[in-house]
Amino acid sequence: MSAPYTGPKVCLWTLDHANPASLETYVANGGYSALKKILAEKTPAAEIIEQVKISALRGRGGAGFPTGLKWSFMPRNYEGDKYIVCNSDEGEPGTFKDRDIIEFNPHQLIEGMVIAGYTLGAKAGYNYIHGEIFELYESWEKALEEARSAGYLGNNICGSGWAFDVHAHQGYGAYVCGEETALLESIEGKKGQPRFKPPFPASFGLYGKPTTINNTETLASIPWIMRNGGQAFLDLGKPNNGGTKIFSISGHVNKPGNYEIPMGTPFADLLVMAGGVRDGHTLKAVIPGGSSAPVLPAEIIMACTLDYDSIAKAGSMFGSGAVIVMDETVCMVKALERLSYFYYEESCGQCTPCREGTGWMYRVVHRIEHGEGRPEDLDLLMSVGNNIAGRTICALGEAAVGPVQSFIKHFRQEFEYHIEHKRCMVGA
């Protein structure tokens, strides 16, 4: 393994300071200087977008879409309200990075949203915060108040005469609202059911107005990029994969938690940072990008670097950078049963293939786990999956299929053993 990373961190650097979340800490270390400079110099929006493009910042919520390109889709000369929305509805099992940005560096997220608002000509910004982290909804509202009193939000930002405000919106228990159009529906006070696309939010978003939705970590990266330049951000990572990235590592490691390291770091290095696999145990499998990402057996993930390209080549998804580690004690049937239950529980019910298919897959995995599996069940699961994927309005259907098909692909003999012997081969 290479030496542990000690270079700059884009988002969680405040954790090296005594009062990480305070406005004083943020400002004393260059916080809000990018915003002040942009407003004082009236930096043209096109120049800001250019820097974001150079940075190769890609959406940190899971899709990995280039942020600069997304920003360029917003209509420039639209006569009417436009909005910025931050997606902090972090509910993908394994993902817990955005919560730490809100808790430990709230002002960088605010500054990022204000710069985005300026660049895209928005009237206001909303940050949609996952319901279960309600304590952070409250703490972030306090940070907004601080920013307002200090003149970084409101009717006359930094004395420029430009007005923009940011508000917190709470979720209340619905994974599907992490999907951007479901999230917009939810802000409008409706059930969080995804919309048909097109039209895309850049033309028909919140309240039907042009809207850009970015993930928390994405928006929090913007002030760093504007202070240091797009090239410096790109140089932290590797081509096409700019920046450092927060990896949330959970499961069977000695030190679960968030680790912010450069894109392209070998997986093996992250594992060492997290204290290695639980003492006395060996690595069996890893879900590298949040629960929807296909699982990878130990030997495959150990050869990967942590970036979009390497993980995709290995047959999985970089996703949100949420790494779920499983050691040799894990029964893959039981693990899949729990994930399948999650998607069944969280399907919004709008599209028949997903509403019926997620329940069907769960019931089949459940019966295999409970010794009632049938020889044809694995083929059945593959076929139900094939009939969900690509046939739904949003990606939740595919997200439910990814685990099912990849668990069976890589650990088929465990499933077959369960079906044949009516019990688990792990520990048998």
Partner 1 sequence: MTLSAQSLLSADSLAQIDKEVAKYPADQKPSAVMAALRIAQVEKGWLAPATIESVAQYLGMPTIAVYEVATFYNMYQLEPCGRHKITVCTNLPCQLQGADTVADYLKQKLGIGFGETTPDGRFTLKEGECMGTCGSGPLCLHNNHTMHAHLSPETVDKLLDELK
The footprint of partner 1 (CB under 8 A) covers 81, 90-96, 98-99, 126, 130-135, 167-175, 186-192, 207, 248-252, 256-258, 291, 322, 324-326, 330, 335, 338-339, 342, 345-346, 348
37/370 with CB nearer partner 1: 370
Q: Is 162 exposed, middle or buried (0-12, 13-18, 19+ CB in 10 A)?
A: middle
Residue at token pair 């430990």: 104
For residue 195, is it left (φ>0), alpha (ψ between -120 and 50) or beta?
Answer: beta
318/407 with CB nearer partner 1: 407
344/417 with CB nearer partner 1: 344
DSSP secondary structure string for all residues of 168-179:
EEE--S-GGGGS
10/332 with CB nearer partner 1: 332
* Whole-angstrom distance, CA of residue 341 vs CA of residue 132: 19
Dihedral (Cα; 298, 303, 307, 308), 10-degree rounding: -80
Q: How far is the CB of 392 from partner 1 (least distance, A)?
A: 18
Q: How far is the CB of 341 from partner 1 (least distance, A)?
A: 9
39/330 with CB nearer partner 1: 330
Q: How far is the CB of 42 from partner 1 (least distance, A)?
A: 27
Q: Specify which residues 322 forms β-bridges with.
A: 248
Beta strands in 138-288 (DSSP E): 165-170, 211-215, 244-251, 257-262, 283-287
Q: How far is the CB of 149 from partner 1 (least distance, A)?
A: 16
What single-letter amino acid sits at 248? S
135/376 with CB nearer partner 1: 135
Q: How far is the CB of 93 from partner 1 (least distance, A)?
A: 4
* Whole-angstrom distance, CA of residue 368 vs CA of residue 197: 37
Q: How far is the CB of 133 from partner 1 (least distance, A)?
A: 6
Q: How far is the CB of 129 from partner 1 (least distance, A)?
A: 9
135/379 with CB nearer partner 1: 135
DSSP secondary structure string for all residues of 80-148:
S--EEEEEE---STT--SHHHHHHH-HHHHHHHHHHHHHHHT-SEEEEEE-GGGHHHHHHHHHHHHHHH
* Whole-angstrom distance, CA of residue 78 vs CA of residue 68: 19
In eight-state DSSP terms, residue 79 is: -
60/238 with CB nearer partner 1: 60
* Whole-angstrom distance, CA of residue 17 vs CA of residue 360: 50
Q: How far is the CB of 410 from partner 1 (least distance, A)?
A: 16
In three-state secondary structure terms, 372 is coil
135/420 with CB nearer partner 1: 135
Instruction: List all residues 6 or more positions away from 313 whose beta carbon is below 8 Å from its beta carbon.
Output: none
For residue 48, is it left (φ>0), alpha (ψ between -120 and 50) or beta?
Answer: alpha
Q: How far is the CB of 313 from partner 1 (least distance, A)?
A: 25
Dihedral (Cα; 393, 398, 400, 401), 10-degree rounding: 140
Q: How far is the CB of 53 from partner 1 (least distance, A)?
A: 30
73/207 with CB nearer partner 1: 207
* Whole-angstrom distance, CA of residue 257 vs CA of residue 340: 24
Query: What is the token pair recorded at 275?
Result: 């204290």
